[in-house]
Structure 1
Amino acid sequence: MNLSSVFGGRDSGATFDSITSSVCRVGLVRSDLVNLRSGLTTLRCDGRDLLLPDDGATAFAVMAEAGCVFLLSEYLGVQFLLVKQDAGKGFFGGQKVNWLLYVNFKDSVGWFPGQSHKSLIHALAFIDSLYLLHDVVLE
């Protein structure tokens, strides 16, 4: 049993272009970047190998402006795509968002949908639970 069976075990998923064209996205703001940095630092302190891809600062800035974040885990053998989705305006006019999680496995083609989260910290906590699932159940 591996993690791909947890997400449905399909051989192919959605393409990156189909995800970005079908999801109304909003760019990352400073607080998102602060939360991402602190969340990744906490996960690394817990022994997780979750990393941003080494594409350079310019590529990250372009993806952040587009509302997307790629994360890599060699230990789990997956890539994660976090998409900041526009969820409309709140009662008092504030921006509402959802964080959509997609997973790409080394042995599959495309992105498989994960869960939707109300905050980036909740999405990172879900990724942390996948490490726990892998360590406890799947090994």
Structure 2
Amino acid sequence: MSGISMCLEQTPEVDYLKYSFLNSYDICNRVDLNEYYTYYNYLYFQDTLTPVDFIEIRWNDLLGDLAGMCTKTYSGTIIELNPIYLNKYPEEFPSIIVHEMIHLITLDHGDRFLEEVERISKLGLEINVYCKHNLSVEG
């Protein structure tokens, strides 16, 4: 069962079906990033990450080959997702947003990051540590 299917079955109180990845054009118009962040924070992190009101989550089509990026500065924290990448590989959305959420715990891909990846995979979501696709090659 895919990560998004799992979410749909486990959250009847939230209308995640309206964000179906099927037969739609642009992921930016279909996915409420704040809703998904809040849901995944609850599901995989027991609401221990920064609340959605104190973080900026946005689309950025200038990320090039990156599927996503997490940036922490003195002025705030930003998670950015690449809509070009996710329009091409929408099935990777849960893995990519949760990957970036792990960066709220640790910014690098070291041992702490890999521990979180392993913990979350035991809950049923496989996290890619590195992007599986190269958009500049695949076009």
> Greater helix percent: which structure?
2
Q: Larger Cα Rg: Structure 1 or Structure 2?
A: 1
Q: TM-score, normalising length from structure 1?
A: 0.30
User: Whose relative contact order is higher, 1 or 2, with alpha carbons under 8 Å and at least 6 apart?
Assistant: 1
